[in-house]
Amino acid sequence: MKDKTVLVTRPNYDPTTSYIYYWSQKTIDLAKRKNAKVLEISGDRVTKKEFEGRMKKMKPDFLMLNGHGLADRVAGQHHKIILDKSNSHITKGVVVSALSCESARELGPHAVLKGARSYIGYEESFIFF
């Protein structure tokens, strides 16, 4: 069995993305302990171009998206869209987990129709209290 590859996006530019940036380190550490190959896109590198390039080149088994979102999109650094319906085909064969508001409402089902193995996310707003 081949080693699993995990791609994690970690924008970090406001209080919400800063919290998620640091919390996601625990998931990254666990994946590494389980011998997964972990690829990270962090900070100003969380752009659509960088994201698409890593997805195409590395073909991850698991995608952990962190960032702000709406029903039809997930953003990277500074609210710049990295995944939406126009490029959701890039998740074909991938298990997607999105810590992003609302993206499971429209983007998730659309990604599954385009071949994602699954899309785990939120249909409503994800709020810190």
DSSP string, 72-106: TEEE-GGG-EEEETTTGGGGTT-EEEEESTTTTTT
* pLDDT score at 2: 64
Q: Which residues pair with 9 in a beta bridge?
A: 41
Query: What's the angle, vertex CA 64, arms to CA 40 and CA 86, rounded to 5?
Result: 100
61 three-class SS: coil
Q: Is residue 1's pLDDT more than 60?
A: no
Distance CA 75, CA 69 (A): 6
Contact call for residues 33 and 67 (beta carbons, < 8 A): no
> pTM here?
0.93
Q: Mean pLDDT across the stretch 118-123?
A: 97
The terminus-to-terminus CA distance of the chain in angstroms comes to: 42
Q: What is the pLDDT of residues 71-105, one digit of tens each?
A: 999 999 999 999 999 999 999 999 999 999 999 99
Contact call for residues 69 and 102 (beta carbons, < 8 A): yes
